[in-house]
């Protein structure tokens, strides 16, 4: 049977040669396809691979014939008996299509199939490297949805192998605005001379489904760096998808995630804008607990952390079982930090100066005492009380115990309040100065010489106006009393 196959293949090769030399495109394509079909029907996979390579290397081979051969052979990939045979066929087709622009789309699809096989075998790194070899953004004849799906697959594999830098580079090849284009308005008849865009395969998702996949991958990327505001914006984009808006079981978990990540985001203008936009959403009335949570952050009042956590602890932990999965691992810790930052902003609005002790009480921060320092203070104290104050050494130790000990102990007690306050000052969230020896925080902004001079001049003008008004009042009272005396 193998001899019969070889004889038939040789005969068809002679026909292919005659057609090729004659420049007959249709005849050459037909001969090439018949050779491939003959090998497939005989289940001669090795012969099929050899013939694919042989036909492609023939002198003066027509581009149309190579394209037809590759497309025909790609249909047989899923019918291979085992993985090894499938990989060999894909590699043979990949070698044939490498470096040929007219089969670049077919090569991209072959690489995608090979990467999927590698991924199933647990070779994530190899699969990612294979996918990164193909720059589909330069393929003019590939459908837009297929391009996006291919790049998203590249991003996903990079995230799976924890290559976040390359994942970010690849994700920038997709503009978020591409998902807002109406596909029905893009269907135009191609002009003469334009490249004909191939239709995307049936397994490629729609543009709106790709939009959701894109933002889910971006959520994975931003979760690595705990960028809560960007995560919130990604969930906001998912929330605005039409299919999500139509299904209440989908938009409620997404809206909950938006609320949580808004609370977790540091205070800045973008966060405030998103917070106001979310509060104006009518769907938020379906989850009143979260509306109340957002209003607490909008109101300039101190929020008690313990009561807030007791109220929302069950809601926080229930996120693990909802659509979208659990929040980032540091969410509980950062939630407390955001409440502390909110309270510091509230305090800075109502106080110009405040003691660290009072600030710690308002922020519900526990006192943290440096035990190592207290032991040294204890040594100072023990030596001081036992020393003879009549000597210079005894007087020295007594001064250390009485004067320097309490000052440094006071500094150690409010270390946590200072830490949060300093972080907010460094991030330019507020302006504050700490007098550590006195234990006082000042929220007043520093003024330059011009502002001080203008303020002094304004106050002086007000003072003179007040003096003049007082003089008028005194003169008026004097005149009234004189009139009464004369009468």
Would you call 430 helix, strand, or coil by DSSP? coil
CB-CB contact of 257 with 276 (8 Å): no
pLDDT of residue 391: 59
DSSP 447: -
- Same structural domain, 304 and 342: yes
Residue 179 lies in a domain: no
Would you call 199 helix, strand, or coil by DSSP? coil
- Same structural domain, 283 and 391: no
- Same structural domain, 401 and 340: no
- Same structural domain, 338 and 271: yes
Residue 418 lies in a domain: yes
Rounded Cα gap, residues 271 and 387, in angstroms: 60
Rounded Cα gap, residues 377 and 373, in angstroms: 6
The pairing of strands 440-442 and 433-435 is antiparallel
Cα atoms in the Cβ-side hemisphere of radius 13 Å centred on 19: 20
- Could you list the beta-strand ranges (E) of 350-430: 353-355
Residue 154 lies in a domain: no
Find where tokens 């936009």 sit: 277
Six token digits for residue 404 = 């320097």
pLDDT of residue 393: 57
Residue 43 lies in a domain: no
Six token digits for residue 180 = 């807002």
- Same structural domain, 333 and 290: yes
pLDDT < 50 stretches in the chain: 192-194, 369-378, 380-381, 384-385, 389, 405-413
Residue 136 lies in a domain: no
Cα–Cα nearest to 145, from 183, 105, 115: 183
Note the helical H segments in 161-287.
164-171, 207-224, 228-239, 242-245, 248-264, 269-279
pLDDT of residue 408: 44
- Same structural domain, 237 and 341: yes
- Same structural domain, 438 and 422: yes
Cα–Cα nearest to 421, from 440, 434, 411: 434
CA distances from 239 to 194, 305, 324, 326 (A): 38, 29, 12, 17
Residue 15 lies in a domain: no
- Same structural domain, 435 and 454: no
Domain count, the chain: 3
Would you call 123 helix, strand, or coil by DSSP? coil
- Same structural domain, 233 and 279: yes
CA distances from 67 to 46, 274, 280 (A): 20, 51, 56
Rounded Cα gap, residues 46 and 43, in angstroms: 9
Phi then psi dihedrals of residue 3, to 5 deg: -65, -40
- Same structural domain, 242 and 335: yes
DSSP 403: I
Cα atoms in the Cβ-side hemisphere of radius 13 Å centred on 378: 6
Cα–Cα nearest to 208, from 232, 186, 176: 176
The pairing of strands 440-442 and 353-355 is antiparallel
- Same structural domain, 295 and 392: no
Q: Say what the alpha-carbon torsion angle 454, 456, 457, 459 is, to the nearest 10 degrees.
A: 120
Beta-carbon neighbour count of residue 157 at 10 Å?
A: 25
Rounded Cα gap, residues 241 and 443, in angstroms: 44
The gap from C-alpha 29 to its chain's centroid, in whole angstroms, comes to 50
> What is the side-by-side strand order in the sheet with 433-435?
353-355, 440-442, 433-435
Rounded Cα gap, residues 143 and 149, in angstroms: 10
- Same structural domain, 376 and 416: yes
Full domain range(s) for residue 287: 226-349
pTM of the model: 0.78
Examine the fold and report which residue of 411, 427, 442 is the final residue of a domain before the chain moves on: 442
Rounded Cα gap, residues 323 and 235, in angstroms: 12
Cα atoms in the Cβ-side hemisphere of radius 13 Å centred on 247: 11
Residue 108 lies in a domain: no
CB-CB contact of 193 with 157 (8 Å): no
Rounded Cα gap, residues 112 and 451, in angstroms: 66
The gap from C-alpha 148 to its chain's centroid, in whole angstroms, comes to 19
Rounded Cα gap, residues 139 and 146, in angstroms: 11
323 contacts: CB under 8 Å, gap ≥ 6: 249, 250, 253, 254
Residue 159 lies in a domain: no
Cα–Cα nearest to 216, from 245, 185, 241, 187: 241
DSSP 203: T
């Amino acid at each position: 049977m193998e001899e019969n196959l070889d004889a038939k293949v040789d005969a068809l090769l002679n026909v292919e040669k005659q057609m090729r030399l004659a420049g007959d495109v249709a005849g050459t394509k037909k001969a090439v396809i018949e050779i491939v079909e003959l090998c497939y029907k005989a289940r001669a996979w090795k012969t099929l691979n050899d013939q694919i390579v042989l036909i492609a290397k023939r002198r003066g081979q027509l581009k149309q014939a190579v394209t037809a051969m590759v497309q025909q052979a790609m249909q047989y990939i899923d019918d291979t008996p085992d993985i090894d045979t499938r990989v060999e066929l894909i590699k043979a087709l990949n070698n044939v299509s490498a470096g040929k622009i007219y089969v670049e789309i077919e090569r991209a699809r072959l690489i995608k199939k090979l990467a999927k096989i590698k991924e199933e075998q647990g070779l994530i790194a190899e699969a990612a490297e294979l996918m990164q070899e193909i720059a589909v953004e330069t393929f003019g004849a590939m459908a837009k949805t297929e391009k996006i799906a291919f790049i998203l697959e590249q991003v996903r594999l990079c995230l799976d192998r924890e290559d976040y830098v390359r994942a970010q580079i690849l994700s920038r090849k997709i503009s978020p605005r591409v998902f807002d284009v109406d596909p029905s308005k893009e269907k135009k008849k191609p002009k003469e001379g334009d490249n004909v865009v191939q239709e995307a395969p049936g397994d490629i998702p729609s543009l709106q489904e790709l939009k959701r996949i894109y933002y889910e991958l971006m959520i994975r990327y931003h979760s690595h760096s705990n960028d809560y505001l960007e995560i919130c914006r990604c969930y906001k984009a998912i929330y605005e998808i039409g299919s999500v808006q139509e299904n209440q079981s989908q938009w409620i978990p997404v809206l909950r995630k938006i609320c949580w990540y808004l609370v977790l985001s540091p205070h800045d203008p973008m966060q405030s804008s998103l917070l106001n936009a979310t509060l104006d959403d009518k769907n938020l009335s379906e989850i009143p607990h979260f509306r109340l949570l957002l209003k607490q952050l909008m109101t300039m009042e101190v929020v008690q952390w313990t009561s807030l956590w007791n109220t929302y602890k069950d809601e926080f932990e229930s996120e693990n079982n909802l659509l979208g999965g659990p929040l980032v691992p540091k969410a509980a810790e950062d939630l407390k930090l955001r409440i502390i930052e909110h309270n510091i902003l509230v305090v800075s609005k109502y106080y110009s100066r405040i003691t660290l002790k009072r600030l710690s009480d308002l922020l519900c921060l526990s006192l943290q005492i440096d035990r190592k320092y207290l032991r040294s203070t204890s040594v100072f104290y023990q030596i001081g009380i036992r020393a003879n104050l009549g000597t210079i050494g005894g007087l020295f130790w007594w001064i250390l115990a009485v004067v320097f000990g309490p000052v440094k102990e006071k500094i150690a007690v409010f270390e946590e309040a200072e830490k949060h306050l300093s972080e907010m000052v460094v991030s330019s969230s507020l302006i504050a100065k700490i007098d550590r020896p006195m234990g006082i925080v000042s929220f007043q902004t520093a003024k330059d010489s011009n502002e001080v001079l203008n303020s002094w001049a304004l106050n002086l003008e007000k003072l003179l106006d007040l003096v003049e008004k007082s003089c008028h009042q005194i003169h008026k009272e004097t005149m009234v009393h004189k009139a009464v005396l004369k009468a």
